[in-house]
Protein backbone atom coordinates (compact mmCIF):
# COMPACT_ATOMS: atom_id res chain seq x y z
CA UNK A 1 0.00 0.00 0.00
CA UNK A 2 1.44 3.38 -0.93
CA UNK A 3 2.51 5.56 1.89
CA UNK A 4 -0.15 7.93 3.22
CA UNK A 5 -3.09 5.96 1.74
CA UNK A 6 -5.69 4.48 4.08
CA UNK A 7 -6.86 0.87 3.57
CA UNK A 8 -10.13 0.76 1.62
CA UNK A 9 -13.26 -0.34 3.40
CA UNK A 10 -16.52 -1.55 1.85
CA UNK A 11 -17.48 -3.36 -1.32
CA UNK A 12 -16.41 -2.92 -4.88
CA UNK A 13 -19.08 -2.38 -7.51
CA UNK A 14 -18.50 -5.88 -8.90
CA UNK A 15 -19.03 -7.48 -5.47
CA UNK A 16 -22.28 -5.53 -5.00
CA UNK A 17 -23.57 -6.63 -8.42
CA UNK A 18 -22.80 -10.30 -7.67
CA UNK A 19 -24.54 -10.16 -4.28
CA UNK A 20 -27.60 -8.45 -5.78
CA UNK A 21 -27.70 -11.02 -8.59
CA UNK A 22 -27.65 -13.86 -6.05
CA UNK A 23 -30.47 -12.24 -4.07
CA UNK A 24 -32.59 -11.82 -7.21
CA UNK A 25 -32.00 -15.45 -8.20
CA UNK A 26 -33.01 -16.70 -4.75
CA UNK A 27 -36.17 -14.58 -4.79
CA UNK A 28 -37.08 -15.72 -8.30
CA UNK A 29 -36.69 -19.34 -7.22
CA UNK A 30 -38.48 -18.94 -3.88
CA UNK A 31 -41.47 -16.74 -4.75
CA UNK A 32 -43.44 -19.38 -6.74
CA UNK A 33 -42.77 -21.97 -4.05
CA UNK A 34 -44.03 -19.54 -1.43
CA UNK A 35 -47.23 -18.90 -3.42
CA UNK A 36 -47.90 -22.65 -3.65
CA UNK A 37 -47.20 -23.07 0.05
CA UNK A 38 -49.60 -20.24 0.87
CA UNK A 39 -52.32 -21.73 -1.38
CA UNK A 40 -51.96 -25.17 0.24
CA UNK A 41 -52.08 -23.61 3.69
CA UNK A 42 -55.33 -21.76 2.90
CA UNK A 43 -56.93 -25.03 1.74
CA UNK A 44 -55.69 -26.87 4.84
CA UNK A 45 -56.93 -24.14 7.19
CA UNK A 46 -60.40 -24.04 5.58
CA UNK A 47 -60.69 -27.84 5.58
CA UNK A 48 -59.74 -28.03 9.24
CA UNK A 49 -62.18 -25.24 10.17
CA UNK A 50 -64.96 -27.07 8.35
CA UNK A 51 -64.15 -30.36 10.09
CA UNK A 52 -64.14 -28.50 13.42
CA UNK A 53 -67.59 -27.06 12.61
CA UNK A 54 -68.92 -30.49 11.65
CA UNK A 55 -67.51 -32.01 14.85
CA UNK A 56 -69.13 -29.24 16.88
CA UNK A 57 -72.49 -29.80 15.16
CA UNK A 58 -72.27 -33.54 15.79
CA UNK A 59 -71.44 -33.03 19.47
CA UNK A 60 -74.29 -30.53 19.90
CA UNK A 61 -76.75 -32.96 18.29
CA UNK A 62 -75.85 -35.57 20.91
CA UNK A 63 -75.81 -33.05 23.77
CA UNK A 64 -79.16 -31.49 22.89
CA UNK A 65 -80.83 -34.71 21.72
CA UNK A 66 -82.10 -33.11 18.50
CA UNK A 67 -81.13 -32.79 14.87
CA UNK A 68 -78.44 -30.21 14.18
CA UNK A 69 -77.92 -28.74 10.70
CA UNK A 70 -74.86 -27.19 9.14
CA UNK A 71 -76.14 -24.79 6.46
CA UNK A 72 -74.29 -22.82 3.85
CA UNK A 73 -74.23 -19.08 4.36
CA UNK A 74 -75.34 -16.63 1.68
CA UNK A 75 -76.11 -19.26 -0.93
CA UNK A 76 -72.57 -20.64 -1.13
CA UNK A 77 -70.37 -22.69 1.22
CA UNK A 78 -67.47 -20.43 0.27
CA UNK A 79 -69.24 -17.64 2.19
CA UNK A 80 -69.11 -19.68 5.39
CA UNK A 81 -71.62 -21.79 7.26
CA UNK A 82 -74.01 -21.72 10.18
CA UNK A 83 -74.88 -24.42 12.68
CA UNK A 84 -78.56 -24.65 13.71
CA UNK A 85 -80.28 -26.83 16.30
CA UNK A 86 -83.72 -27.93 15.17
CA UNK A 87 -86.37 -26.79 17.63
CA UNK A 88 -87.78 -29.27 20.11
CA UNK A 89 -91.50 -29.50 20.84
CA UNK A 90 -92.37 -26.77 18.35
CA UNK A 91 -89.70 -24.33 19.50
CA UNK A 92 -87.94 -22.30 16.84
CA UNK A 93 -84.56 -23.31 15.47
CA UNK A 94 -81.59 -21.92 17.37
CA UNK A 95 -78.33 -20.77 15.81
CA UNK A 96 -75.44 -22.34 17.71
CA UNK A 97 -72.41 -21.11 15.77
CA UNK A 98 -71.31 -19.58 12.49
CA UNK A 99 -68.17 -19.28 10.41
CA UNK A 100 -67.60 -16.32 8.11
CA UNK A 101 -63.84 -16.47 7.72
CA UNK A 102 -63.53 -18.42 4.46
CA UNK A 103 -60.92 -16.87 2.17
CA UNK A 104 -62.36 -15.51 -1.10
CA UNK A 105 -59.85 -17.61 -3.07
CA UNK A 106 -61.25 -20.87 -1.62
CA UNK A 107 -63.98 -22.89 -3.32
CA UNK A 108 -66.01 -25.58 -1.54
CA UNK A 109 -67.78 -27.90 -3.98
CA UNK A 110 -69.66 -31.18 -4.09
CA UNK A 111 -71.89 -30.47 -1.11
CA UNK A 112 -75.64 -29.83 -1.03
CA UNK A 113 -77.45 -27.11 0.87
CA UNK A 114 -77.07 -28.64 4.33
CA UNK A 115 -75.61 -31.43 6.41
CA UNK A 116 -77.83 -32.87 9.14
CA UNK A 117 -76.68 -34.79 12.22
CA UNK A 118 -79.29 -36.78 14.14
CA UNK A 119 -79.69 -36.89 17.91
CA UNK A 120 -77.23 -39.81 18.08
CA UNK A 121 -74.53 -37.88 16.20
CA UNK A 122 -74.95 -39.86 12.99
CA UNK A 123 -75.34 -38.42 9.53
CA UNK A 124 -78.90 -38.18 8.25
CA UNK A 125 -79.50 -39.89 4.93
CA UNK A 126 -78.40 -43.15 3.38
CA UNK A 127 -74.82 -42.50 2.33
CA UNK A 128 -71.67 -40.74 3.45
CA UNK A 129 -70.99 -37.23 2.18
CA UNK A 130 -67.83 -35.90 0.61
CA UNK A 131 -66.76 -32.55 -0.78
CA UNK A 132 -63.66 -30.79 -2.03
CA UNK A 133 -61.92 -27.65 -0.84
CA UNK A 134 -59.78 -26.06 -3.54
CA UNK A 135 -57.83 -22.88 -4.09
CA UNK A 136 -59.32 -21.00 -7.05
CA UNK A 137 -55.90 -19.72 -8.10
CA UNK A 138 -55.31 -23.02 -9.88
CA UNK A 139 -52.31 -23.96 -7.79
CA UNK A 140 -53.44 -27.57 -7.50
CA UNK A 141 -54.04 -27.19 -3.76
CA UNK A 142 -57.01 -29.43 -2.99
CA UNK A 143 -58.26 -31.47 -0.08
CA UNK A 144 -61.24 -33.75 0.23
CA UNK A 145 -63.42 -33.93 3.34
CA UNK A 146 -65.39 -37.12 3.97
CA UNK A 147 -68.23 -37.44 6.48
CA UNK A 148 -69.09 -41.06 7.19
CA UNK A 149 -72.49 -42.35 8.32
CA UNK A 150 -71.46 -42.31 11.99
CA UNK A 151 -71.00 -38.53 11.61
CA UNK A 152 -67.23 -38.34 11.94
CA UNK A 153 -65.43 -36.16 9.41
CA UNK A 154 -61.86 -36.36 8.18
CA UNK A 155 -59.66 -34.52 5.73
CA UNK A 156 -57.98 -36.44 2.91
CA UNK A 157 -55.20 -34.48 1.19
CA UNK A 158 -54.95 -34.92 -2.55
| Domains of the chain (ranges, CATH numbers) | 15-157 (3.55.40.10)
Query: Is 70 exceeded by the pLDDT of residue 139?
Result: no
Whole-angstrom Cα distance, residue 102 to residue 83? 15
pLDDT in tens, 52-111: 999 999 999 999 889 999 998 888 888 888 998 987 666 778 888 888 777 778 888 888
Dihedral sign, Cα of residue 92, residue 93, residue 94, residue 95: negative
Of 37, 28, 40, 57, nearest to 147 by C-alpha is: 57
Q: Is the pTM of this model over 0.85?
A: no
Residue 139's CB is within 10 A of a number of other CB atoms, namely 18
Average pLDDT value over all residues in the chain: 84
Contact status, residue 99 vs residue 51, Cβ threshold 8 Å: no
H or E stretch covering 86: none
Amino acid sequence: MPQGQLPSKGFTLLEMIIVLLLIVLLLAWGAPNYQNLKARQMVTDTSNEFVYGLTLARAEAVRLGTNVEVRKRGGDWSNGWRIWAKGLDGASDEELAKNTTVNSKITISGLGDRIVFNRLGGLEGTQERAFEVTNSLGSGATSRVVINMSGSAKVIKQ
